[in-house]
Chains A and B, each alone.
Chain A
């Protein structure tokens, strides 16, 4: 079945540092890939998506590229802010999993001044 593996957290960075959160997946065919963010006490917000190989999703300074050859979708941001502190979830859907989202375990990010 489908599965998503994310790097373990928590990740603590200083403001303006570079962020990478690793995500790899196992799936049949060509799933769609997503990053969601969850702020304390809230639901999930869609951060970015990619639907085919070599697509780059981007939003609010965050980027991730769909790499079919390495089955990866790593999240990056060049300069994090304190307001980016949240839990980040990598997810996939489609192809063999129907419409349901399969999530990674989430990576907590804490950004300090």
Chain B
């Protein structure tokens, strides 16, 4: 069974630019989650999508947004990049049966802002 796949693996951007990160969930999983792992800040929840709808959002500004496609894959968009957006962005997927189901993670996209 293929796991969660994320692309690209690494990105280098400059302040003010925009970036799009992509995630393909495990086959059969309908929920997709995005997390930010920034140095010194730990793992922070960003967004949860299920059946194409945004279900929950973490404490991040509106320039962080995303969407989920009919095939359940997802994109995370970050506009007006700032230096503090440098982080590992992790995508996870799960079956849509509430918090009882574990989330399975991809290897992440490492975003560096110069």
Contacts and interface: CB of A to CB of B under 8 A. Distances in A.
Interface of A: 31-32, 34, 36, 41-46, 49, 51, 89, 93-95, 97-106
Nearest to A51: B100
Interface in B44-83: 45, 48, 50, 55-56, 58
Contact of B33 (A32, A46, A89, A99): A99
Instruction: Provide the main secondary structure of the chain A interface.
Output: loop
B90 interface: yes
B99 A97 contact: yes
Interface residue tally of chain B, by bracket? 20 to 34
Name the residue among B33, B90, B102, B107 with the largest chain A CB count within 10 angstroms: B102
A22 to B, nearest CB: 17
Contacts, number: 66
B105 A100 contact: no
A77 to B, nearest CB: 20
A98 B48 contact: yes
Contact of A43 (B48, B102, B106): B106
B100 A100 contact: no
Contact of B99 (A41, A98, A103): A98
A95 B99 CA distance: 8
Given A32-B102, A95-B99, A101-B43, 19 more contacts: A32-B100, A41-B107, A42-B108, A43-B4, A43-B106, A43-B107, A44-B90, A44-B105, A93-B103, A94-B100, A97-B99, A98-B99, A99-B31, A99-B48, A99-B50, A99-B56, A99-B99, A101-B92, A106-B43
